[in-house]
Structure 1
């Protein structure tokens, strides 16, 4: 038994119990949808470069839920301000998939201006695009000071290149954008990763090194709520890198007499369950990262137990 099955299950259950649960329900919600050109550099809000995403159909969730308040707030949002946590959930919904369904079109002004109603001087109408769907990956966060990202708790910001890939009757709609968009209504819900196969991917982020080993975890079957690392004979909860929900700072399996470069981790998914029944992943810091990883993402190979 690897480091004690009882110890493993007890400590990983304790980790899961202490995590933010987040909106894990599959219930559908309705909001407004906008679009954006792509992830920033070197990472999107979840801590992965766009080139490393499992899907180029990706979206951003709202960081804050502050109707009428367009000011800046601390990130990650502290527990004392949990009432303003948006659907991004301090990064805990990163790496999850969302099924998005197209809803009604606005015939008026729908610009997300602060303090203004949505769809001014017009109405919401149904058309031939209603009901088109696309499954998209949570990869970014929206904290902008506009009505979309503050007043609408169910707002989604969608990758622009995905808009014409929404399908109805098995066929892409083709021309939803630009003339039939106007920040439409959408409904959405979290779903498991479609056609999932294989196992997670692990890589070190830019500037990671022996004294700052931060990893990005992707190709997840159901998101990620936490990471544990094995160090000096015990399991420890890893710290998320700010609110980039797929990046975690870990420690080597041994730190004495000198900082090691061998690592062992396990993962908790968005349902607060241990991934693959508590499977552990063992890997090393690449020699190219001895003085800091240069690329935004340096993939590693691993063994499991």
Structure 2
């Protein structure tokens, strides 16, 4: 079950705001009139009675207390910065499972909360950006991948290499490491290796990993439609992304490219690493830094 947190937040702000407005327009003036009438009737004012007459209803008190906090959270989360946790290894080595990241909601334009309608354009995604978006097959789920193809681009994936508009993506082999995604004790564990490459996508230099033992997929190519983006995970052999789609007749889990109205924002920093949030396993801050 996926909870629609933005909708709940908007409802909470609306309810607490209405309570605060109700108190300001009607309840507070009524309390002041009651206090004035009481003071006019007695020669000695009883502070206890006066306090009782001025006491806010409990629901109104809570509403007025929570409204400014919730309103600030709504503005920050909807228009500026939103935190996310990385649940999978599809962006390794750039992002690890358990990384807590910050996403800039302003980079690609200001959108209305819940409706996700862009009201103020700011900039468009650039090739190489790490972008959070709503999963096209289930918009309640957020995905994170790297922007490889922009509207109008021709993308080809052949022999485990990316080509953009006919040119291979520049890459340099950094080193080879053991594949930590192979279970301990697996017969192929000793032979399972991963090549780590430094790749250059647009202005962004980043690392990508390729499994040596994984099957080489058949050559595929795509043209990115207008208003869409071609997204690929940095963990190239373990990422469900735009490469695994060709037509609407393909299986549902093969979701294709990301339309502009599904964009959430640009991931720009890791602020904490906590793969298992519990008291016996405290968070680490060793991975804190900007995202390339």
Q: TM-score range by the shorter chain?
A: under 0.3
TM-score (norm 2): 0.26
Higher helix share: 2
The two structures have a TM-score, normalised by structure 1, of 0.25
Tell which has more relative contact order, 1 or 2 (C-alpha 8 A, sep 6+). Answer: 1
